[in-house]
């Protein structure tokens, strides 16, 4: 096993049979405790016997105890190798417990009819949620909006690339500009919703509305018509996230060896030509990474929409996340909402896998 390791360690572990037995006892003993506690709690839920539990916390503690014993036993049983496993195991256990269990749980909820405000509680209803989703125009409308929002990344990318080129060029006060350009990323989207969406874009007194009037737009309304509202949301989101792409691209630009650009200049390539034939191809891997990460963040877009437009006018600015958020909070329709979220996850995973495969094929021969 250690043959492939980056770091070669000579191990001479001599683990006695008793130690191995102790380690195994640790794992199975704590697992038995966990099983017992869980069983007792299930028994109470099923009304078999009352143990006086008020919450599921004892199971949580037993689970944590088991997780700790599992980590400890690694060292006891496998010595040096166990110590190596200990680097990754805590994080892996943490992520698995916090995603796999909730996701399985979510699947059960997704296939049930569950409205928090109705007294009936949760009831499995098979594929009814899927059928409802299929005919829900607002969900597919939100999905369509996501396509538009994602498409806007191309423009964001162009702007970010331009700014990165400027920052990488020979300018004075580079640090000042870098800090200034970075700041929008630091602001909370909720605060941005008020700062820009609710006050600067306010139709009567907002400075941007005044500017628009000055430039000849009679009655500026940034959230009146569906198209304008969508573009406004896109711009606000772009404002916060352009710094993110800009910094990744800037790092890429600074990693390009100076000799390459100089050589191209000697060969007579200047300006645009040098950019398209030298800089841009060299930046392709970085660009693709930046765009992929940006897409991932874009697919989570919600805060601004929830706080500025609540999806309006007529669902024109709705994202899938903000739509489900309202389904949860305003209608308490959690079963249906969870099904929508699950379908969204499946679509995202498929789309991202295809994109990543495409990106890998695209960059492979050139680099």
Between residues 17 and 218, which has the closer beta carbon with respect to other proteins? 218
Binding mask 119-158 for other proteins (x = CB under 8 A): ----------------------------------------
Q: Using the rule CB under 8 A, is 223 a contact of other proteins?
A: no
Task: Give me 340's structure tokens.
Answer: 């929508």
Least distance to other proteins, CB of residue 118, Å: 16
Q: Based on CB atoms, which residue is closest to other proteins, 84 or 230?
A: 84
330 makes contact with other proteins (CB under 8 A) = no
Q: Write a three-state SS string for the chain.
A: CHHHCCCCCCCCCCCCHHHHHHHHHHHHHHHHHHHHHHHHHHHHHCCCCCCCCCCCHHHHHHHHHHHHHHHHHHHHHHHHHHHHHHHHHHHHHHHHHHHHHHHHHHHHHHCEECCCCCCCCCEECCCHHHHHHHCCHHHHHHHHHHHHHHHCHHHHHHHHHHHHHHHHCCCCCHHHHHHHHHHHHHCCHHHHHHHHHHHHCCCCCCHHHHHHHHCCCCCCCCCCCHHHHHHHHHHHHHHHHHHHHHHHHHHHHHHCCHHHHHHHHHCCCCHHHHHHHHHHHHHHHHHHHHHHHHHHHHCCCCHHHHHHCCCCCCCCCCCHHHHHHHHHHCCCCHHHHHHHHHHHHHHHHHHHHHHHHHHHHHHCCCC
Check residue 87 for interaction with other proteins (CB under 8 A). yes
Nearer to other proteins, 131 or 174 (CB): 174
**Among 39, 255, 263, 360, which residue interacts with other proteins (rule: CB under 8 A)?**
255
Q: Is residue 270 within the footprint of other proteins (CB under 8 A)?
A: no
Shortest Å, Cβ 217 to other proteins: 16
Q: Which of these ranges, 27-35, 66-74, 128-136, 173-181, lies near other proteins under the rule CB under 8 A?
A: 173-181
Does residue 193 bind other proteins (CB under 8 A)? yes
How near is the Cβ of 288 to other proteins at its closest, in Å? 10
Residue pointed to by tokens 């950019």? 275
- The residue among 21 and 207 lying less far from other proteins, judged by its C-beta, is 207
Interface with other proteins (CB under 8 A), residue from 32, 48, 102, 358: 102
Which residue in 229, 278, 290, 316 binds other proteins (CB under 8 A)?
Answer: 290
Note whether 357 binds other proteins by CB under 8 A: no
Q: Contacting other proteins (CB under 8 A), which of 39, 42, 263, 349?
A: 349
Least distance from other proteins to the Cβ atom of residue 127, Å: 19
Minimum separation from the CB atom of position 176 to other proteins (A): 8
**What is the C-alpha to C-alpha distance for residues 279 and 281, in angstroms, rounded to an integer?**
6
Q: Are 114 and 332 in contact (CB under 8 A)?
A: no
Residues in region 295-314 near other proteins by CB under 8 A: 296, 299-300, 302-303, 306-307
Q: Which of 32, 39, 42, 103 binds other proteins (CB under 8 A)?
A: 103
Which of 43, 70, 130, 185 touches other proteins by CB under 8 A?
Answer: 185
Residues 43-62 that bind other proteins (CB under 8 A): 54-57, 60
**Phi then psi dihedrals of residue 123, to 5 deg:** -135, 135
- Choosing from 36, 42, 92, 155, the residue that interacts with other proteins (CB under 8 A) is 92
Residue list 2-31, contact with other proteins (CB under 8 A): 2, 4-9
Instruction: Give the relative orientation of helices 280-298 and 226-255 as an angle to the nearest 10 degrees.
Output: 140
Determine, following the binding rule CB under 8 A, whether residue 320 of this chain makes contact with other proteins.
yes
CB of 32 to other proteins, least distance (A): 22
In Å, how far are 51, 57, 225 from 64, measured between CA atoms? 21, 10, 53
């Amino acid at each position: 096993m250690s043959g492939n390791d980056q770091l070669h360690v000579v191990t001479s572990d001599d683990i006695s049979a008793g130690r191995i037995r102790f380690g195994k006892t640790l794992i199975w003993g704590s697992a038995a405790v966990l099983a017992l506690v869980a069983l007792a709690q299930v028994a109470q839920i099923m009304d078999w016997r009352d143990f006086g539990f008020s919450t599921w916390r004892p199971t949580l503690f037993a689970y944590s105890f088991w997780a700790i014993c599992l980590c400890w036993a690694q060292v006891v049983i496998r010595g040096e190798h166990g110590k190596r496993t200990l680097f990754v195991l805590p994080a892996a256990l943490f992520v698995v417990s916090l995603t796999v269990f909730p996701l399985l749980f979510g699947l059960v909820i997704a296939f049930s009819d569950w409205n928090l405000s109705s007294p009936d509680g949760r009831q499995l209803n098979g594929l009814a949620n899927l059928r409802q989703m299929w005919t829900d125009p607002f969900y597919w409308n939100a999905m369509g909006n996501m396509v538009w929002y994602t498409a806007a990344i191309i423009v964001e990318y162009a702007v970010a690339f331009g700014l990165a080129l400027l920052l990488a060029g020979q300018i004075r006060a580079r640090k000042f500009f870098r800090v200034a350009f970075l700041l929008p990323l630091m602001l909370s989207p909720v605060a941005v919703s008020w700062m820009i969406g609710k006050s600067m874009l306010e139709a009567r007194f907002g400075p941007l509305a005044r500017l628009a009037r000055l430039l000849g737009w009679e009655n500026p309304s940034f959230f009146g018509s569906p198209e304008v509202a969508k573009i406004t949301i896109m711009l606000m989101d772009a404002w916060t996230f352009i710094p993110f792409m800009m910094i990744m691209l800037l790092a890429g630009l600074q990693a390009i060896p100076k000799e390459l650009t100089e050589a191209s200049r000697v060969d007579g390539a200047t300006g645009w030509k040098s950019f398209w034939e030298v800089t841009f191809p060299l930046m392709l891997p970085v660009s693709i990474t930046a765009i992929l990460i940006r897409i991932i963040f874009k697919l989570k877009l919600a805060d601004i929409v929830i706080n500025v437009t609540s999806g309006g006018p007529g669902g024109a600015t709705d994202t899938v996340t903000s739509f489900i958020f309202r389904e949860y909070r305003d209608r308490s329709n959690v079963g249906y909402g969870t099904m929508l979220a699950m379908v969204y996850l499946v679509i995202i995973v498929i789309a991202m896998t295809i994109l990543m495969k495409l990106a890998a094929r695209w960059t492979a021969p050139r680099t």
